[in-house]
Structure 1
């Protein structure tokens, strides 16, 4: 009963945090508000959430990474794939090695394997925290796509490195050759399992749907189970469950193209996944805040591991790690952009040197968040011989400090750096969009004509079906004419005006419907049906 109450209380804190972050006069990112609420919860109650590392990893990471892989724009990712790979793989390896050695040098009492583990958990970035920070300052789309792609891949690469570091800490041995071979198996098998699980499930689901129809609730539940199934299966064969979840999410995009679900299923499924993403990310930050009082209360014992007695040394270590991460990231971003420019110039393309603010913004955008906390909490409680895991509390304290400091720094620096920042110009997608609209409109007209002839032959009343079909086809012909003769701008203006007028009509319909409900002149079934129709119409023109 106590566990259920805690979960409900955490969810309530997530809801309240969203409201508070919107009410505050200053632009305070939601993750920081959630951390503060969690700290208030931790101070106001004697109950402490005991986090089981394996359970925490299973519950939080698979769905979050699966959704990231599913929703990330694949075309935009491929456009900057070299930059993304350089940041997600090269920078992670540099961070693990460089920061691991630096942390061990700075804190000799922390074993090298544990220092590498800490460096591995602080290497992944969190784009959700970045978008929350820059909510009032729009992030250039291309920059956000790079950050999303980097986060998707560096989550996996950082956590795989964490796995090797923990294994080295538990066994006391590490072989580069064996680790390389193990990495190939862990990564390759994990990705393959994610792909196979998704394809198998979606094909089976499509076969069942064709024979017996589609049940919306079952379809949504299946999508929720896929990341957990891929994760657990990969872990059973000692592959990377993290990469399996990522591979499953990426494959889901392509599987959905050929095996489309019903429109109502997609709409409800998107709403469910939005809620899950918001809840899980929020709970992670609230849990971080809830753990903070206990972490700070043990600061004196924690700092004793380092050979010091004053707790302020922990703040020094946190700031030193944040500074080291920022320095490495700045250097890597600068080199990555220079290499990109060099490659473009070798192909005959002319590119200007990047604005220093772009490099600074990309550097400060390396905010640590949910994945870092989830990763550090998976550190084992004990070694294989039963002795306590060395410097575990210290690693958790430092990781939590890095998360908070990086959030605060980014919330201050990013709005300043992003204001007025322009990325290199993007090629227009308008011609591609117009071509697609014309092609789909022609296909719609052909299908309507075919349907019209079929119904007319069956009923014998051709005039009724011809006039009705003509009304629908005129809508598509106007679209084709508007996009084909160079009046696409006028057509889009008409679409916007049409949407404005329709939204005004929808608002009037809602007011009238509410008045009829208050007078009890309409039944609940009719109200539900009309409300859904109004919701769909409003979503169509507000989206």
Structure 2
């Protein structure tokens, strides 16, 4: 019963946060409101409960990472792969080394290996937190895609560094070779598991659809369970379940371009995933808030062990560590950009560096989240000899403080930093959309004309109805229906056309029914042709997958509305 009450409390807090964020007289991001509610539940109402890291990783991360990987624009991911990998791999190692020595310098009583463990667990940015900030702040699209790609991929590198730092704390030894091999296994096998799981599930579902039919309910349930299958498969092989869930989402986006799913399935599935995303995101931040009162109390009790007595030292440590992380991130981004520009100049290519605001925004947008807290809570309580792990409570507190400070700084600073910033157009999305609409309209016109000819032939041969009608009258009805449907597409492709009309004085009701039936058939043919063309353009790279997904969703909604 306690577990049920805890779940209901979390869901109620998430629902309340959605209303509260709009009722507040000042702007406050939803994640911070949810963290505040969680702290209120635990600190004042005493209804909070401890976060279990393994259960947390299994229940909440796979679906959210799967959805982020599914929806992130793949063209941007490929185009900016170098920048993303530099942040996801190089920056993590740079942060672990730089922040580790900074922490050990600030708190000499903390062992160096434990300082490296803390630096490692706060090095990866959190995809959920990044998405939460991006929804409330106008971030340039290309920068947003880079930040999202970084947050999806840097968890493996950060957590591997964390695991080896913890092992060094427990054993007193560290092997760079073993760490490198472990990272390759964790990342490579994790990515492979995600791709394999989605491919196998998709093959099984296609086999079922061909023999039984594409029932919407079971199909959506299988889709919801897919990230858990990928995660558990990878974890069973001692690989990264996080990367497996991300790879599964990216693979799913490519499979979607086949266009096998029905419009009705896509509409209902999108609505359910939106609900899952909102609920799970909120639960993660409410859970984070519920841990804060206990973390603060434990940190106060452990403070004398660090050689300090005033609680203000906790705030000083947290601010210094957060500032150090932002400075390290700024230095890495600045050096990377100028290094790339130097290589471009040596090759005789033109170089256009982004404004300084973009560089600073990239540094401030390194938001940490619940993954950091769940990771740091896996720290062992004791050393192999049974003695307590030194400064564990302080490490957990600093990780939680970095999460709060990074969220607050990004929320306050990014809108002001990016306000009024004029950037050159980074992509040809407008041109892609025009191409997509014109090509899909042409495909729809061709499909409508083919169906019109078939219907006229069937009417002429007496196959269209149980009661035969004059072929000329049937042809006129079908021609009028085709002209009405085609008119919309002709405007899109900039063609002129006049709709013909076929009227019959006799059997008017029969002609009206025939007209409505023909209109429905022709609408469906046009929409199906539009969707097929949009998927084809996305598969061939003529338009982005994000644009095709948006346009196909518009067609699916139109299709659902017309079928009611």
Classify the TM-score, shorter chain.
Answer: 0.7 to 0.9
- How do residues 406-425 of structure 1 correspond to structure 2 at under 5 angstroms? 406-425=406-425
CA offset digits 1:279-299 (Å, max 9, x no partner) = 222112212221212222223
The TM-score with structure 1 as length reference comes to 0.84
Q: Deviations over 1:159-194 (max 9, x none)?
A: 232233334444443211122112211111111111
Q: Is residue 475 of structure 2 the alignment partner of residue 462 of structure 1?
A: yes
2:35 match: 35
Matches within 5 A, 1:464-543: 464-481=477-494, 536=557
1:254, distance to aligned residue in structure 2 (A): 0.8
Distance 1:48 1:17, change over 3 A: closer
Distance apart, 1:34 and its partner CA: 1.2
Distance in 2 between residues matched to 1:170 and 1:452, nearest whole Å: 76
- Residue of structure 2 in register with 1:252 after alignment: 252
Distance in structure 1 (CA, Å) of the matches to 2:260 and 2:291: 43
- The correspondence of residues 215-230 of structure 1 with structure 2, limited to 5 A, is 215-230=215-230
Q: Structure 1 residues 419, 376: closer, same or farther in 2, change over 3 A?
A: same
Whether contact under 8 Å (1:137, 1:419) holds in the other structure is no
Residues 24 and 172 (structure 1 numbering): CA distance in 2 closer, same or farther, change over 3 Å? Answer: same
Partner of 2:512: none
In structure 2, stretches of 5+ residues that fail to align are 461-473, 497-553
**1:440-473 alpha-carbon deviations (Å, 9 max, x no partner):** 2222222222222333333333332232122222
CA distance in 1, matches of 2:33, 2:250: 31
Residue 75 (1) aligns with residue 75 (2)? yes
Give secondary structure in 2 for the equivalent of 1:258: coil
Aligned to 1:357: 357
Q: CA deviation at 1:352?
A: 3.8
**Number of the residue aligned with 1:445:** 445
**Aligned in 2, Cα 1:292/1:243: closer, same or farther, shift over 3 Å?**
same
Alignment correspondent of 2:397: 397
**Residue 148 of structure 1 aligns with which residue?**
148
- The C-alpha deviation readout for 1:87-130, integer Å capped at 9, x for no partner, is 12111111112212322333233333332222122112235545
> 2 CA distance for matches of 1:309 and 1:403?
24
Moved more, 382-391 or 278-287: 382-391
1 CA distance for matches of 2:301 and 2:97?
A: 28
Cα 1:431–1:50, aligned 2, differ >3 Å: closer, same or farther? closer
Distance of 2:190 and 2:132 partners within structure 1: 31
The alpha carbon displacement at 1:225 in A equals 1.2
Unaligned runs of 5+ in 1: 484-532
TM-score of the aligned structures, taking structure 2 as reference length = 0.81
Q: 1:348 to 1:263 in 2, by over 3 A?
A: farther
Query: 1:431, CA displacement in angstroms?
Result: 3.2
> Is contact 1:56-1:378 (8 Å) kept?
no
Kindly tell me: are residues 181 and 135 of structure 1, through their superposed partners in 2, closer, same or farther at Cα, counting changes over 3 Å?
Answer: closer
- Determine if the alignment matches structure 1 residue 44 to structure 2 residue 44: yes
What RMSD, in angstroms, separates the aligned Cα atoms of the two structures?
2.6
Kindly indicate whether the alpha-carbon contact (under 8 Å) linking 1:126 and 1:367 is maintained by their aligned counterparts in 2.
yes
Aligned to 1:107: 107
Output one character per residue of 1:450-500: Cα deviation in whole Å (capped at 9) or x when no partner: 2223333333333322321222223222221269xxxxxxxxxxxxxxxxx
Distance 1:184 1:93 in 2: 15
Match of 1:24 in 2: 24
SS of 1:481's equivalent in the other structure is: coil
CA 1:193/1:277 → structure 2, altered by over 3 Å: closer, same or farther? same
**Would you say the 8 A contact 1:125–1:155 is kept in 2?**
yes
